[in-house]
């Protein structure tokens, strides 16, 4: 069978489209290439972004900010002594950009203005930590990026 140039072009396009579709299906069906959203309800989250910015600004305006540091035992959060630890309420959210299944959250449980998150709770790698807290009716948000080895 002899192919003319028109048939050859159509075949070339068909093969190219088949090649591209094969890789699209392969990537979408393989859990190794999960495409996870950062936030499940993106538009709801985005609607409250200005409120979040105000809380971040409240934290930035503090003369002494909470100190987040890595220790041999884990990640330590130390609130300034000027705050009464019993009046601080909130949560600590840890987000793993590369794997949503590793994300976790703690409620703030302070002992002498300090909270320790055990190293065993972390997988090695990059983490985004967000502390959302309330002190005497005023809301604050503190964010920090961590790298755990």
61-89 per-residue burial string, b: 16 or more CB within 10 A, e: under 16: eeeeebebeeeeeebebebeeebebeebe
Q: Hey, which bits of the chain come out as E strands?
A: 67-70, 74-78, 88-95, 104-107, 114-118, 125-135, 138-148
Per-residue pLDDT tens for 84-119?
888 899 999 998 887 778 888 989 888 888 999 988
pLDDT category at 16 given cuts 50, 70, 90 is: very high
Q: What is the pTM of this model?
A: 0.70
Per-residue pLDDT tens for 23-73?
988 888 877 766 665 666 777 777 788 898 999 999 999 989 999 999 888
The sign of the CA dihedral 16, 17, 18, 24 is positive
């Amino acid at each position: 069978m002899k192919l003319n140039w028109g048939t050859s072009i159509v075949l070339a396009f068909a093969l190219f489209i088949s090649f591209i579709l094969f890789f699209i299906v392969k990537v979408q069906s393989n859990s190794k290439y999960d495409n996870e959203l950062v936030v499940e309800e993106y538009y709801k989250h985005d609607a409250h972004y200005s409120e979040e910015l105000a809380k971040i600004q409240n934290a930035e305006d503090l003369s002494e900010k909470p100190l987040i540091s890595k220790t041999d035992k884990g990640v330590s959060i130390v609130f300034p002594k000027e705050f009464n630890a019993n009046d601080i309420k909130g949560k600590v959210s840890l987000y793993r950009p590369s794997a949503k299944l590793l994300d976790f959250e703690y409620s703030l449980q302070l002992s002498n203005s300090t909270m320790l998150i055990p190293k065993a709770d972390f997988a090695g790698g990059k983490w985004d930590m967000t502390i959302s807290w309330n002190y005497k009716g005023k809301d604050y948000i503190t964010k920090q990026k961590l790298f755990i080895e």
